[in-house]
Structure 1
């Protein structure tokens, strides 16, 4: 049986523009939650994607629902694919890449394998996965879910969550938190630029950050 939920609300355009200026690693400086297992990595050396999570859960050998999803996806969507623990079959390859790119899909996050890595890189389509495999899914008709919660990279991801992904990793945040996170990240990146300017002028980084002062205070027994 295939269980297909409604398409989620698309990301707000203003928040999308804000997040496009953010690096996942910047957010990693102030947030602990929402980061996908780093073993799920980008096949492109440099990339950044912001979009709306459209979730799928596929049985190990069955790619039927992923094919059907190409009828439903919208520009700006990010496909987030739970492979139900399978680390052998690739559900995504060159044909899916070309089709999805033509539909305006922003990218795909796979808790499993992809194939046709060269084709994906040549088309510069953003794919995050655990690795590549020559063994692929088939139209097996075994079932699956779309736009229901999935487990990907150690996280429960819901349809409509906001995805920010780059070459450093994948971040998933609830839609209602995305604007606050984006504003904080942009502010922190501006602070980092100011710090680099001070270092270039001869200041010592641990003096600027306070790291040396903190170590000395702790070692002296101060509270």
Structure 2
């Protein structure tokens, strides 16, 4: 077993965090081409938004000992990101883990596998992202696991302290090497322009003309 100290994200200021809460991962997707988890990892609740730093956990197939330890170490603003090492049958997060995370003001839980006790999780209200639901739960065997190491979740490498931005549309992971200011500037500009684009569409303009998609197609076919 490996338990490392929590890694802080020194680049994520309170101001940047507030700005990330106002933009959508899907809009960021226009400008970033990596870091997006597989769509099978989806929100178990509706109308959620998570912005925080990754507190990573790796567990074995049916042993959730390290999940219980991790939720006891994580704190406000952390996002518990759990690598299930390929298991898609056993649920390692249920009512008690979700309740404990909520008490400690954890921002959310992301699992590369199923969760359980969905009615209780909905009542608790903590955002949980998972591949689905399962009545087959993990046990406390204390055999293996890691906390705050580099993991894989939803097909993405996640490092402790990475920025997590997630909503109903999906989960995005951004390392500290990413220029957050640049990403936000592009994303905020795009979202600010959306009302104007809708006005142009209402006025009769075509989307292909507004986005220049028509010109791109003309260029492509002229080359052919």
User: Relative to structure 2, which stretch is displaced further, 12-21 or 178-187?
Assistant: 178-187
Of stretches 6-15 and 81-90 in structure 1, the one that deviates more from structure 2 is: 6-15
* TM superposition shift of 1:81: 0.2
Which residue pairs with 1:171 in the alignment? 172
Q: CA contact under 8 A between 1:41 and 1:130: conserved in structure 2?
A: yes
Offset from partner CA, 1:16-43 (integer Å, 9 cap, x none)? 1111011011011121100011111111
Aligned residues: 221
| 1:215 counterpart = 2:217 | yes
In structure 2, list runs of 5 or more residues that go unmatched: none
Give yes or no for the alignment of 1:104 onto 2:114: no
After superposition, what is the alpha-carbon deviation per residue over 1:77-109, rounded to whole angstroms, capped at 9, x for unaligned? 000000111111100011111111111100011
Residue in structure 2 matched with residue 26 of structure 1 by the alignment: 27
Deviation track 1:138-193 (CA, whole Å, cap 9, x = no partner) reads 11011210000001111111000000001111000012423322222111111222
**Whole-angstrom distance in 1 between the partners of 2:88 and 2:38:** 14
Please give the alpha-carbon distance, in whole angstroms, between the structure 1 residues aligned to 2:17 and 2:63.
33
Structure having the higher strand fraction is 1
TM-score where L is the length of structure 1: 0.94
Runs of 4 or more off by more than 4 Å in structure 1?
A: none
Query: Structure 2 matches for 1:172-187, cutoff 5 A?
Result: 172-177=173-178, 178-187=180-189
Name the CA distance, whole Å, in 1 between partners of 2:223 and 2:182. 37
Q: How does 1:1-223 map to 2 (within 5 A)?
A: 2-10=1-9, 11-177=12-178, 178-221=180-223
- 1:142–1:194 Cα change, 3 Å: same
Q: 1:213: how far off?
A: 2.2
Q: Could you tell me how far apart the structure 2 residues matched to 1:69 and 1:216 are?
A: 55
- Contact conserved, 2:164 with 2:174, CA < 8 A, in 1? yes
RMSD of aligned Cα (Å): 1.4
